[in-house]
Amino acid sequence: MEDRLKQLQAEALEKIEQAEDLKTLNDIRVAYLGKKGPITEILRGMGKLSPEERPVIGQLANDVRAAIQVKLEEKQEKLSKLEVEQKLAAETVDVTLPGRPVRTGNHHPLTAVIEEIEDLFIGMGYTIAEGPEVEKDYYNFEALNLPKGHPARDMQDSFYITEEILLRTHTSPVQARTMEKHEGLGPVKIICPGKVYRRDNDDATHSHQFMQIEGLVVDENIRMSDLKGTLEVFAKKLFGEDRKIRLRPSFFPFTEPSVEVDVSCMCGGDGCSVCKHTGWIEILGAGMVHPNVLEMAGFDSKKYTGFAFGMGPERIAMLKYGIDDIRHFYTNDIRFLKQFNRA
Ligand code: 2NL
């Protein structure tokens, strides 16, 4: 019995020594000191021993149990400490490491230019007006002095959905609708940015879908000089105070007279490939609103006059940033878009 106890002690101490984690240690405790363990069993069987053996074995069994207990506690403390150390080591944060860069987005260059233009006109008292992209033939053409059969409303150039409904080819129908809502009473002072559609084959300078920004002012005593002054302020704010504008006679069915507007080139007239050695770059079309357009929208063209203008923000953005292909705006290559980070 004595040998058995000594062997149990040696065995248990050895196993405790070898234990590498708290779970194993607990298993050892249960195996040796538990209710069904060998030492408990021996102590329980003391009654069967002779009176001489009883105190000797009892003492020894208690000593063995105490020795195992002490060793278990020692090891438990060691392993707990180790576990905490390992946990801390695993969770260490090196605050001196450089941070991971946070990827941020930025405005699309076209959005940036459109917003810049919008802000410019809002600053001059304009309101932004919007309307449907799927439009009635009436608002897209008829109300703009382009009656059925007019050579400028070539069926081949528009996306028709039915005989009377099409994808708008310009944002002018928004202006026609806004004027109509005013029921013949001025002033109207709006800019209309939005998507427009034309049946074109896409190339470096054409896109079947593109943006347009049109402006319209209708009131009493609106004159050509108001248009010129407005566009001069606009061009200087957008391209630089050193720029000039010039107006050339042109034709649009919805304006009379009509003009094409150039901004002086950044080369200062010395001649460069952007202005094709002319010193001038065309940026928009404009004119005095045709009396027919005013009358169709319910305005008395003897009392009211107005000016209107239209531009392509893609073209403006291409000039402003030196972009050589309109398709860049719509292919959304992140390497292209990232170059226009205003932040
Ligand atoms: C261009 C030319 C232009 C207009 C658009 C307009 C609208 C109404 C009445 C009269 Cl409701 N005019 N818009 C006028 C002149 C030119 O756009 O080259 N755009 C890219």
In ligand 1, the atom with minimum distance to the C-alpha of 311 is 20
pLDDT number for residue 145: 95
pLDDT number for residue 139: 97
Quickly tell me which residue has 């260059």 as its tokens: 109
- pLDDT-derived band at 55 (thresholds 50, 70, 90) equals confident
Taking the centre of ligand 1 as the mean of its atom positions, its distance from the CA of residue 151, in whole angstroms, is 17
Taking the centre of ligand 1 as the mean of its atom positions, its distance from the CA of residue 137, in whole angstroms, is 17
Quickly tell me which residue has 């094409």 as its tokens: 260
pTM of the entire predicted model: 0.73
Mutate to test the pocket of ligand 1, among 227, 254, 314 (most ligand atoms within 8 A of CB): 254
If 0-12 CB within 10 Å is exposed, 13-18 middle and 19+ buried, where does residue 110 land? buried
Quickly tell me which residue has 């608002």 as its tokens: 139
In ligand 1, the atom with minimum distance to the C-alpha of 212 is 20
If you take atom 15 of ligand 1, which residue's CA is the nearest one?
286
53-68 per-residue burial string, b: 16 or more CB within 10 A, e: under 16: eeeebeebbeebbeeb
Q: Where are the alpha helices (DSSP H) in 161-303?
A: 172-181, 224-239, 291-296
Taking the centre of ligand 1 as the mean of its atom positions, its distance from the CA of residue 324, in whole angstroms, is 25
- Ordered by start, the domain boundaries in the chain are 2-90, 109-337
Taking the centre of ligand 1 as the mean of its atom positions, its distance from the CA of residue 212, in whole angstroms, is 10
* C-alpha–C-alpha distance, residues 265 and 259, integer Å: 19
Contact 231, 287 (CB under 8 A): no
Ligand 1 binding pocket, CB closer than 6 Å = 144, 172, 175-176, 212, 214, 216, 252, 254-255, 284-287, 289, 293, 308-312
* C-alpha–C-alpha distance, residues 221 and 225, integer Å: 11
Q: 27: how many CB neighbours lie within 10 A of its CB?
A: 14
Taking the centre of ligand 1 as the mean of its atom positions, its distance from the CA of residue 220, in whole angstroms, is 20
In ligand 1, the atom with minimum distance to the C-alpha of 258 is 15
Q: Quick one: average pLDDT of 98-110?
A: 89
For the chain, what percent of residues have pLDDT higher than 90? 59
- pLDDT higher than 80, residue 271: no
Mutate to test the pocket of ligand 1, among 177, 255, 282, 305 (most ligand atoms within 8 A of CB): 255
Contact 266, 314 (CB under 8 A): no
Quickly tell me which residue has 């919805």 as its tokens: 254
Q: Quick one: average pLDDT of 110-125?
A: 96
In ligand 1, the atom with minimum distance to the C-alpha of 143 is 11
- pLDDT higher than 90, residue 67: no
If you take atom 6 of ligand 1, which residue's CA is the nearest one?
308
In ligand 1, the atom with minimum distance to the C-alpha of 310 is 17
Contact 211, 196 (CB under 8 A): yes
pLDDT number for residue 266: 86
Q: Quick one: average pLDDT of 256-270?
A: 91
Give, for 263, the enclosing helix (H) or strand (E): strand 255-264
| Residues with Cβ within 8 Å of residue 169, at least 6 apart in sequence | 140, 157, 158, 196, 197, 198
- pLDDT higher than 90, residue 179: yes
β-strand partners of 166: 135, 160
Binding positions for Mg(2+): 256
- pLDDT higher than 60, residue 211: yes
Local structure of residue 162 (DSSP, 8 states): S
Taking the centre of ligand 1 as the mean of its atom positions, its distance from the CA of residue 27, in whole angstroms, is 88
- pLDDT higher than 60, residue 323: yes
Q: What does the mean pLDDT of the chain come to?
A: 91
109-337 sits in which CATH class?
Answer: alpha beta
pLDDT number for residue 155: 60
Q: What is the CA radius of gyration of the chain?
A: 44
Local structure of residue 100 (DSSP, 8 states): P
- pLDDT higher than 80, residue 343: no
- pLDDT higher than 70, residue 342: no
If you take atom 5 of ligand 1, which residue's CA is the nearest one?
310
pLDDT number for residue 13: 80
Taking the centre of ligand 1 as the mean of its atom positions, its distance from the CA of residue 321, in whole angstroms, is 24
pLDDT number for residue 192: 98
